[in-house]
Amino acid sequence: MKKAVVLFGFIFGLSGCASVSDIDFSKADPACAQQCTDTYSRCVSGFTMFPIMQQHQCTDAYKGCVQVCSVEGRPSAATSRMQQDELAQICTEQLATDPRLDPIRANLALGTGRQPSIVQLSSMKKASGKEKNAILAWDEIISDCFAKQQQIYASNNAPTMYIENSRALEAKKKQLRADLWAGKISYGDYLKAAQKNKLESRSELTSRQDERSQRDAQLRNQQIQTQAMQDQAAAQNRQAAAQTMMMINQANQQQVQQQQINQPRPLNAPGTLSNPIRTDCKRGMGGVECQTYSY
């Protein structure tokens, strides 16, 4: 009986622990959490002989995985944006004031923060000797600013999509600067191509952000479905545990009844049958004599 109670307590305890409802996904990186959810789904789909124990193990692994995905303690997006704004201001001032860029500043509107004019966009002028030296100095400033931007991304754990997008755009810009320096394109060609690359980069980044939002929504839906499956499994486990306990109680009652039946009872105890009794009488000279005995 004691072993049965312990077994029931173990079963019931496991059925109450295997739940994902207390997992905090708010501090987890969405892409990382998605991998955890996929792994958990594969884990729970392989239940075999001991579903309660395996479910408990899968849930513990799921919790540990999501904790590893936590982004708590990382610098906030606001901090990263502030650092980038400060860097952009420094670089813009440098482009506007560095005397080495004087030969090309009017052709490219460097450091003005304004869109190129129609005259600049339609310019067919190509770089001359002094202007090529200015383009090299311009490339030096841009490369230094880009390296510092990447450091900000790294220190703030920026999403991979932003890092990849910025690198791809800078690679295109650098190639355009090289073509401008080599005289392959005019200033107008450079400005139009740079604008096109910038718009395409923004469009690609927006598309990737939309895809990420969709994945996040799918992750939330999977979490809801997973929780529903957990709730259903927990209910089934509780029902199975209750049925097991009922069977144990029935078996114990039958055992007690059988023990009562098999237990020996004392002679002439209440509720037991006594031995048969016989009385014999005889007439003698002195009268009638009777004798009673059992057999």
- CA 56/CA 18 separation, integer angstroms: 4
From the list 26, 140, 151, the residue with the least C-alpha distance to 86 is 151
Average pLDDT, the chain: 79
Considering the domain architecture, whether residues 81 and 208 belong to the same structural domain is answered as yes
Question: 4-25 pLDDT, tens per residue?
Answer: 433 434 444 444 445 666 777 7
233 domain residue, yes or no: yes
Considering the domain architecture, whether residues 108 and 158 belong to the same structural domain is answered as yes
Considering the domain architecture, whether residues 67 and 98 belong to the same structural domain is answered as no
Name the domain count of the chain.
2
Cβ pair 18, 52 in contact under 8 A: yes
pLDDT of residue 80: 76
277 domain residue, yes or no: no
- Which of the listed residues 213, 234, 258 is the one where a domain comes to its end? 213
Residue 266 has pLDDT above 60, yes or no: no
284 domain residue, yes or no: no
Considering the domain architecture, whether residues 148 and 187 belong to the same structural domain is answered as yes
pLDDT of residue 10: 40
Considering the domain architecture, whether residues 83 and 209 belong to the same structural domain is answered as yes
Considering the domain architecture, whether residues 189 and 109 belong to the same structural domain is answered as yes
Question: 151-197 pLDDT, tens per residue?
Answer: 998 888 888 888 999 999 999 999 999 999 999 999 999 999 999 99
- The torsion region of residue 157 among left (phi > 0), alpha (psi -120 to 50) and beta comes to left
Considering the domain architecture, whether residues 141 and 99 belong to the same structural domain is answered as yes
pTM higher than 0.75, yes or no?
no
- Grouping H, G, I as helix, E, B as strand and the rest as coil, residue 82 is helix
Considering the domain architecture, whether residues 166 and 201 belong to the same structural domain is answered as yes
Considering the domain architecture, whether residues 209 and 236 belong to the same structural domain is answered as no
94 domain residue, yes or no: yes
Considering the domain architecture, whether residues 81 and 36 belong to the same structural domain is answered as no
pLDDT of residue 16: 46
Which range of residues forms the domain containing residue 233? 2-72+225-246
- CA 75/CA 152 separation, integer angstroms: 10
131 domain residue, yes or no: yes
Residue 252 has pLDDT above 80, yes or no: yes
Where residue 66 falls among pLDDT bands split at 50, 70, 90? confident
Considering the domain architecture, whether residues 133 and 82 belong to the same structural domain is answered as yes
pLDDT of residue 11: 41
- CA 272/CA 265 separation, integer angstroms: 8
157 domain residue, yes or no: yes
Tokens of 279: 């009385």
262 domain residue, yes or no: no
286 domain residue, yes or no: no
Per mean pLDDT, which range of 60-64, 165-169, 174-178, 271-275 is the poorest?
271-275
Considering the domain architecture, whether residues 61 and 159 belong to the same structural domain is answered as no
pLDDT of residue 1: 45
Higher pLDDT, 205 or 16: 205
